[in-house]
Amino acid sequence: MIGSIAFVGYIFETEDADTLMTKLKSVADPRWNICTEAAETVCVKLGNYVFFAMCPGEED
């Protein structure tokens, strides 16, 4: 069963966080889930770590 909330999140450890962030942002597909679409993509770095998430976004 597939949930109705589009969410995926990862934490990567890398030697080149800036390059990984650029690549993730360029290939991210908010419609990766067949039934839903993510409204927001989050990609931030802290040192050699990159947090990447596609999620529903903020509520109105």
For the chain, the structural domain boundaries read: 8-48
pLDDT at 59: 59
Between CA 33 and CA 22 the distance in angstroms is 22
DSSP annotation of 14: -
Q: For the chain, list the strands marked E by DSSP.
A: 8-13, 40-46, 49-55
- Give, for all 60 residues of the chain, the pLDDT tens digit: 555 666 889 999 999 999 999 999 999 888 877 777 888 899 999 999 999 998 887 655
Q: What is the pTM of this model?
A: 0.78
pLDDT at 38: 84
pLDDT at 1: 52
